[in-house]
Amino acid sequence: MDNRPIGLLDSGVGGLTVARELLRQLPNEEIVYIGDTRRAPYGPRSREQIIAFTWDMVNFLLSKNVKMIVMACNTATAMTLEIVKEELDIPVIGVILPGASSAIQKTKTNKIGVIATQASIRSDEYHKTIARKSSAIEVLSLACPKFVSIVESNEMESEIAKRVVSESLAPLVGKIDTLILGCTHYPLLRSLIQETMGKEVRLIDSGAEAVRDISVLLNYFEINAHERKEYQHCFYTTAGVNSFREIAEKWLNIGHLHIEHAEIENFNKEK
């Protein structure tokens, strides 16, 4: 048993989609969340920048004494998972393998679509992960660079969001039976995505799928938390607290979240 918190990281509010599922499936666990909102989106950034920024978040979480790190961000997972894993002596988990495995399980036509940020699509990590497991599957990948800004600016219900989603996804409509939401921000646009793709297309939320693997790791390392009377989940953002709070409290359906601003640039373990 281990009551230390689980650390989650993302470029902004996207990782909340993982946090929501984690709190639902593993209610004994406490979480510390860092969203690098000030430097989001990560998708258009270079590999070097994404690696450096992810290390800032990892070191910040280590300073909070976490027992495990969840990269609740596909872009960070694609660029840094193996590097970070190698350096740390606590378990580190990403969202790509769980999303890819679930899509392989669900597809009936062997035609899977992946939508993600430019950096994730450029890395081709989903395609490679699926191909390693099954060469029979065709993967159609598509970058959706406008989605993250829509979510970060809390415009999910706007007319613009509707138009952007339907125009962006047009190349995939009618071509696949399973679509991986390969960016943790995208489940916040889920209903628009489903409407555009058609109700017969199965949407895979890679972050939510990762929670099953988190649970397996907690068991494997025997670090599940005890049930307690009170939990103090802590959320940190590198930008202003207000808009983060608006999205987080609605999405998690929890009021009065503990949310603080954090400076994480060049954060090192000694701080």
Binding site per annotation, positions for substrate:
10-11, 42-43, 74-75, 184-185
CB of 120 to ligand DGL, least distance (A): 6
Q: Which stretch binds ligand DGL (CB under 6 A): 40-48, 155-163, 189-197, 227-235?
A: 40-48
Question: Which amino acid is it at 126?
Answer: Y
Q: What are the binding residues? A: 10-11, 42-43, 74-75, 184-185
By CB under 6 A, is residue 185 in contact with ligand DGL?
yes
Q: Which of 54, 129, 168, 184 binds ligand DGL (CB under 6 A)?
A: 184
CB of 136 to ligand DGL, least distance (A): 27
**Per CB under 6 A, 40 contacts ligand DGL:** yes
Report how many helices (DSSP H) and strands (DSSP E) the chain contains, helices first: 11, 10
DSSP 26-89: -TT--EEEEE-GGG---TTS-HHHHHHHHHHHHHHHHHTT-SEEEE--HHHHHHHHHHHHHH-S
Kindly state the tokens that stand for 185: 């921000």
Q: Exposed, middle or buried, 118 (CB in 10 Å: 0-12/13-18/19+)?
A: middle
**Nearer of residues 6 and 225 to ligand DGL, judged by Cβ:** 6
Catalytic residue among 183, 204, 225, 248: 183
120 lies in the binding site for ligand DGL (CB under 6 A): yes
Residues that are catalytic: 73, 183
Residues that bind ligand DGL (CB under 6 A): 10-12, 14, 40-43, 73-75, 117, 120, 148, 183-185
